[in-house]
Amino acid sequence: MRPQQKRLMQEVLPRCAILSEGPLDPLQIFPETRGLGVEIGFGGGEHLAAQAQLHPDWGFLGAEPFINGVAKLLAHISQQSLNNVRMLMGDGRSLLERLPDACADAVYILFPDPWPKARHFKRRIIQPETLDQIVRILKEQGELRVATDVPDYAVWTLMHAGKRRALRFAADRPRDWHERPVDWPPTRYELKARAAGRSCVYLRYLKFSHL
């Protein structure tokens, strides 16, 4: 671990890490916030930090298993003096399982590992069980955002999310999911994908329990 990363882990991580086990109460974590965003696999943390800066009246929870990604988010938190971000070092599915019903205004899954080989599809984060958890924790009219530069993963997401009756695809025309909304900050991976000439897809779903 680099000295800078070590300093961040020692000085910044203790005040923003989720260390407890069992159920999580967002109202205890963020008692004065008006909304909650949850990012599963935040990578380098640039999107989560940007959302936290854009919405200082929201609280943001993120999960990421890799130490380099955690250190990068800590750097954003330190540099931008963010007080509305908390993180779990681990699998994002465990974060979803620990959150109460109807607590989140938005859930983000951005450029997840596509696991391109068929025998590895079961490792993809977009699974029926994960989507059921997301539907459970989303508030009414809460939003799920998924981004990918892998066409097969976009089809996979459309197929599985389309089977959740409570999720309504928030697109009226193809252009809606080929253009990133203005309130959707880009990730480092997205910029690399575009520089390499790959197209990106931005899928948005809204929760309506009584469709």
User: What whole-number distance in Å separates Cα of residue 109 and Cα of residue 147?
Assistant: 7
Instruction: Name the token pair of 207.
Output: 């929760």
User: What whole-number distance in Å separates Cα of residue 135 and Cα of residue 143?
Assistant: 9
Q: Is 57 a catalytic residue?
A: no
Neighbours of 168 (CB within 10 A): 15
Q: Which residue of the set 113, 149, 152, 176 is catalytic?
A: 113
**Residue 195 CB partners (closer than 8 Å, separation 6+):** none
User: What whole-number distance in Å separates Cα of residue 142 and Cα of residue 107?
Assistant: 8
Helix runs in 31-111, H state only: 46-54, 67-80, 92-98
- What residues are annotated to the active site? 113
